Structure 1
């Protein structure tokens, strides 16, 4: 294995980084299966990108709060290991690109010097916990959700119950009923509430975007804050056990809830509580230390262009509940900015604000705790950085994923069309510069990283084919989505599909119609009133592909003729014994279980043992070419094929043995027995397989 040591003080983090280094070495030496290696590196923020031989690194920024020293550290890492560009995602993360896989452990170690992590930024885990960017300063919030988002993020980070789920799991916190955290499209969404003087949350469950968007259901109208972690643990355990694992298209929480039903799902959560160690987790909100603004005199400033300054103030200043302070919204074009500007921004907020910035769900930056009298000074300093474009969170502020720039799955250029549409709005519809209602979002494919299907006006990258079988880049135009507040929303309808070069004309027609006929209605209500066919009728002719020009075959931001090319992941190039790999993993999980047990972490130890039991059963089913779509299915099939048939002798059924996990409290005695059960099964299965292989060889 690779010899790699860090100078990280936290032994848990250091072990994590060394493990990544060792697994990279094993993968390079063709010792571990590519699929398993992918799972491990994704859970550590290392993601393959469209260009061969390099990786995208996703840096986790919990609830979007980024301290100035952390921003400097990320900038240093980007300069050293990447290309000096930082990309803000729609989940408040930062991504850097073109990183050598072999350098990712040392990159991670550098980030951890300022408590910045890659852990569980990607993969089938609990992803970054997002929150309203105005948490703690919002004039309408009943309380600051930051301590609750922080506690939940820390509780589930590296938690054994959510390390190898069938698919990713997304969580958000909204500060107010405006639901700026977008609870309705998350696996779990929390909206801050106070009931009878008690802090708590309205809880939404099983929302999602993608090719089949689903509006979340109300799991609880009100859940006291000390129950949010136990309930989420129950949800994760159920998702891990019953969630689809083979078909990625059906592996999200939204499909599981559809199959189980909401009432049955609540019953399963209640049943699971017996196995959960902490029935109540009181979150010390008073102990959470928010950033404090510095005390500084306002320097004298002479504003050169008072008109531009006044326009910027009207669109980019956010009221704060703290008297005498405002927040400043920075519109970041497509979420991309560079390390030279990032360092100067860090210095600015250190010296004149509260030493932090917030990353937003619309790929922007917020500077909280700016003294009102310092606003002209901040405008002057931000202007030097190119950060005073008016229209923060307004119609001209378009959200877009990276698309074909770097993403493996991108079909069309979302960044190129976004820049063109912003230019069209600024030049031809300046009145929309201050329109907060009109939300425009673009995704390069159906996966909806740009959140196109929840926008008022959305565009999704696609292709069109002529009668001569020529392929041109295209955009699916979606209309009518919108956030209605308090967990309620509408998803957009697919109206027409047009060649990409006609995207601006489609937007012009939509805006012209809205201007002429809406009579003051918000777009989401105007669209609902008119209906899909109304918009289809005046956009339909743009779908015609019989009259395409040469320009129509060149995507926005490109110079060459369009070629549809969806990237693929890396390939190990050899066939590795997957069964042996799974047995090795079962052994590792038993070792993890014993270590956790010795440290008194019985709940985690029990879950490691559970994972070993499932893993061992899965290995045998794969050897028999059986489906292993869900944990529950694996358990039932192993009973039928190996236990009931007498091939593997147990003193009970496999189901009864493994489901002890949700019938016993996580204490030392049960933990020890359950770990022994998992090791006993592994040894029996390995012996059975050895005997079977020996018999097969003798027959041959």
Structure 2
């Protein structure tokens, strides 16, 4: 541990990394439950990979902004701890694959030297806060949303209210009414607005993709900017307490809203405001640090292929609101690029732009603040890196998750089919190089990391079974999704399932018909006009599994026969006492509460104490083989089963005891008494547990 302990200036970060190293040792010794260890490592950006014995590391990069020095650091880390390949995700993160679990604390420590974190990039936490990659430069934006996205990221990072929720929580910011942040499919989505000269946001709540996509509700038509943090804290508190925990399939915010209704949810959020320390959090956007473009003379450049250069300018260059500057879009095939190119790109933007890049929701790179007269020079330099392929954010620019390449949940290849579909478009439909209205997305499974059900044309990895029970890779074809702007979107319909090898033919038929019958319409409107049945009839013969060839059993991007398989996660290999583990966690939470109290962070101290009591109650319920699916359920069931039945005497209702957290402001006096409540409760349930064990023995 000493090798990275002394190089980290922030003691909180240092302790976080040391804790991860210690927990890895305890897990390998069989002293920490596998599920608990999984939760801990995921909250620290360490994700089990399809290939046994290695991990995927996800780096959390708020709104996709990466400085030159940070890109250099990420490249160095990838070379040292992995294989020199970086992967851009649809949440503006960077992933590094094939990392040894034992080396993850050291890797994290190296990244922190340039203020890059893994914390809460995975797990049941607030995930990376995304935003329009053009935030701050968009000619249509009412104001720059970057400071607000950054403030949300910093306020909720390591915040105790969102460390152990039932599922992940996703937040986005859109710079304009075009809603390029895709607010309608997020747990919380913010769209920049100005009302009567005041900055604020339209707030969308409860959206999501996956196997059951849900369109977000309008939570606030307009919410002043200083209220977004208190409102989000209330939302997270309610989600933490009432969100599903037993069934992962139903544990997202969208299901809670569906179950209790928007009005009831909003009332619960309002009831939480008394317990929230900050009723207003002003975000100092005016003094938010911004990258400063360099001032350099344009080198003389001779363009050899003027036609290619003009096509690139037409498809990859974006006007900025700052006069004299443009942004350059780099189309990154499948979001994958290598560290040698990353370093050269970092140097290029440091010396000739503003020393930063932006990662996009479509797995691409945007270089802001390029002087317009430097475009020939940038074209020349980017061409050396293979970064001048035309079609940034156009139809030919297909989004795809890693699929069966590395993901545990992948069912069929998404990268292989994406590569083939891009080839089809470039060679057979070159007119779509300039078409930004047609969006194609691919996911390797139903979880929609590739956002397939939000696309005009989407493909989802599946499998198909022949009459003689052979299994082949397949694609669910989805059509008609799209973003209509200002928080309005449409989710695609599942039309037909076809063997993966027939995916390109399905695309050809769809595009050919669109060319013939689209009549200049957007694809969303064209699909609505024709209807789902029309496309089913067009494609249904491709779904026939009775006439598969040998090639149909080989997925795209591989030469091996297809095997439907879900990757294997880690296994402790030792039976341990889960109840004892939960009690140990309760102790740790009380100690953390005391540390927060000493540091005068009373709201955090109170929430850690609350977590300890929920944890302790859960332990006793599990010891009696009683399980519940929400924190509120744990509290109610414990009250009924143990307090009202006089099995445990607390001298007060457990519900009344623990729900003090809702009714009291986070003062020093309340924090002190509430921590004492948590200590006394843990002691009471431990005594009960020991007595029960003695009776059994």
TM-score by length of 2: 0.99
Deviation at 1:568, TM superposition (A): 2.6
Q: Which residue of 2 aligns with 1:283?
A: 283
Equivalence map 1:47-58=2 (5 Å): 47-58=47-58
Q: CA 1:646–1:4 in 2, change beyond 3 Å: closer, same or farther? A: farther
Matched, 1:614 2:600: no
Q: CA 1:4–1:382 in 2, change beyond 3 Å: closer, same or farther? A: closer
Q: Distance in 2 between matches of 1:427 and 1:123?
A: 41
Q: Which residue of 2 aligns with 1:120?
A: 120
Deviation at 1:628, TM superposition (A): 2.4
Matched, 1:194 2:194: yes
Equivalence map 1:192-271=2 (5 Å): 192-271=192-271
Deviation at 1:6, TM superposition (A): 4.2
Structure 2 unaligned regions, length at least 5: none
Q: Which residue of 1 aligns with 2:491?
A: 491
After superposition, the C-alpha distances for 1:292-328 in whole angstroms (9 at most, x for unaligned) are 1000000000000000000000000011000000000
Q: Which residue of 2 aligns with 1:40?
A: 40
Q: Which residue of 2 aligns with 1:655?
A: 655
After superposition, the C-alpha distances for 1:164-186 in whole angstroms (9 at most, x for unaligned) are 00000000000000000000000
Q: Which residue of 1 aligns with 2:683?
A: 683
Q: Distance in 2 between matches of 1:196 and 1:156?
A: 29
After superposition, the C-alpha distances for 1:589-642 in whole angstroms (9 at most, x for unaligned) are 000000001101000000000000000000000011111210000000000111
Equivalence map 1:16-95=2 (5 Å): 16-95=16-95
Q: Which residue of 2 aligns with 1:596?
A: 596
Q: Distance in 1 between matches of 2:299 and 2:476?
A: 50
Any idea what SS the aligned residue of 2:96 has?
Answer: strand
Tell me if structure 2 keeps the 8 A contact 1:622–1:628.
Answer: no
Tell me if structure 1 keeps the 8 A contact 2:68–2:350.
Answer: yes
Q: Distance in 1 between matches of 2:364 and 2:91?
A: 11
Matched, 1:562 2:562: yes
Tell me if structure 2 keeps the 8 A contact 1:4–1:21.
Answer: no
Q: Which residue of 1 aligns with 2:324?
A: 324
Deviation at 1:5, TM superposition (A): 2.8
Equivalence map 1:454-493=2 (5 Å): 454-493=454-493
Equivalence map 1:629-668=2 (5 Å): 629-668=629-668
Tell me if structure 2 keeps the 8 A contact 1:275–1:661.
Answer: yes
Tell me if structure 2 keeps the 8 A contact 1:2–1:25.
Answer: no
Tell me if structure 2 keeps the 8 A contact 1:55–1:97.
Answer: yes
**Equivalenced residues, count:** 697
Deviation at 1:146, TM superposition (A): 0.4
Deviation at 1:575, TM superposition (A): 1.5
Q: Distance in 2 between matches of 1:419 and 1:308?
A: 22
Q: Which residue of 2 aligns with 1:548?
A: 548
Root mean square deviation of aligned Cα: 0.8
Tell me if structure 1 keeps the 8 A contact 2:412–2:461.
Answer: yes
Deviation at 1:3, TM superposition (A): 9.0
Q: CA 1:344–1:2 in 2, change beyond 3 Å: closer, same or farther? A: closer
Any idea what SS the aligned residue of 1:200 has?
Answer: strand
Q: Distance in 2 between matches of 1:476 and 1:297?
A: 52
Tell me if structure 2 keeps the 8 A contact 1:6–1:109.
Answer: no
Q: Distance in 2 between matches of 1:588 and 1:11?
A: 18
Deviation at 1:569, TM superposition (A): 1.4
TM-score by length of 1: 0.99
Q: Distance in 1 between matches of 2:553 and 2:6?
A: 50
Tell me if structure 2 keeps the 8 A contact 1:332–1:365.
Answer: yes
Q: Which residue of 2 aligns with 1:298?
A: 298
Aligned structure 1 segments of 4 or more residues deviating by more than 3 angstroms: 1-4
After superposition, the C-alpha distances for 1:543-586 in whole angstroms (9 at most, x for unaligned) are 11111100000000110111111113111112110000000000
Deviation at 1:4, TM superposition (A): 6.6
Q: Distance in 1 between matches of 2:404 and 2:25?
A: 30
Q: Which residue of 2 aligns with 1:313?
A: 313
Deviation at 1:691, TM superposition (A): 1.2
Any idea what SS the aligned residue of 2:659 has?
Answer: helix
Any idea what SS the aligned residue of 1:7 has?
Answer: coil
Equivalence map 1:410-559=2 (5 Å): 410-559=410-559
Q: Distance in 1 between matches of 2:619 and 2:433?
A: 58
Moved more, 507-516 or 6-15: 6-15
Q: Distance in 1 between matches of 2:156 and 2:539?
A: 47
Tell me if structure 2 keeps the 8 A contact 1:458–1:492.
Answer: yes
Q: Distance in 2 between matches of 1:160 and 1:466?
A: 50
Q: Distance in 2 between matches of 1:331 and 1:177?
A: 24
Deviation at 1:475, TM superposition (A): 0.3
Tell me if structure 2 keeps the 8 A contact 1:443–1:460.
Answer: yes
Q: Distance in 2 between matches of 1:518 and 1:555?
A: 32
Q: Distance in 2 between matches of 1:562 and 1:515?
A: 34
After superposition, the C-alpha distances for 1:480-505 in whole angstroms (9 at most, x for unaligned) are 00000000000000001000000000
Deviation at 1:2, TM superposition (A): 9.7
